[in-house]
Amino acid sequence: NMGSIGIDLARWVKKGLLKFHSARPSLYGLEMHLVTFHKVIDAFKPQVFVVDPISNLSAAGTQSEVKSILTRLIDHLKMKNITTYLTDLNHFGSSLEHTSEEISSLIDTWLLLRDIELKGERNRGLYILKSRGMAHSNQIQEFLLTNKGIDLIDIYTGSGEVLTGSARAAQEAGEKASELASRREAER
């Protein structure tokens, strides 16, 4: 799937630098998922470990059980100095600023990717919700998936509104045309 946005992961797999392990959440219980995570980590010795998405684990246990497993997994990864990347799918209309598994206190940096709907168009925005111990921007960036990869673009925030996608492009084009007309008028 990543090839469709210009990212070739196959070469990293062939070099032995990237490994995928997938299992349906309902395949076994949470404890067995944790054991499997540990086995994969110990065998591969990754620098980065990704669980995508953690919200799927709720199919294998209660919220408190999932939180317990994730706490133990994150602690294990921190002890091994392995960067951990977790994704969490929120349901449309739910609060975006909490994880479904309530593990925000364990997370050092939290990036939030959300939909921005405007004038019948849905675009993606990305911002840093929290980053423990380091300065960070509080601005939203438009997040684009293109055939050349991922792009972050400044959103338009003039005239008191936030514009993304075609609304941003139209506003920027209008401003450029107005600026050009002003320059031509000044040259007369």
**Residue ranges per structural domain of the chain:** 1-107, 108-188
At residue 100 the predicted structure's pLDDT band, cuts being 50, 70 and 90, is: low
Residue 156's region, left for phi above 0, alpha for psi from -120 to 50, else beta, is beta
DSSP-assigned beta bridge partners for residue 113: 126
For residue 5 the two structure tokens come to 């946005």
CATH number of 1-107: 3.40.50.300
CA nearest to 125, candidates 117, 110, 135, 114 = 114
Mean pLDDT of the chain: 87
How does pLDDT run across 2-21, given as a tens digit for each residue? 888 888 899 999 999 999 99
Residue 44 identity:
F
Does pTM surpass 0.85? no
Q: What is the 3-state secondary structure (H, E, C) of 96-165?
A: CCCCCCCCHHHCCEEEEEEEEEECCEEEEEEEEEEECCCCCCCCCEEEEEECCEEEEEECECHHHCCECH
How does pLDDT run across 155-173, given as a tens digit for each residue? 877 777 777 788 878 888 8
pLDDT value of position 91? 58
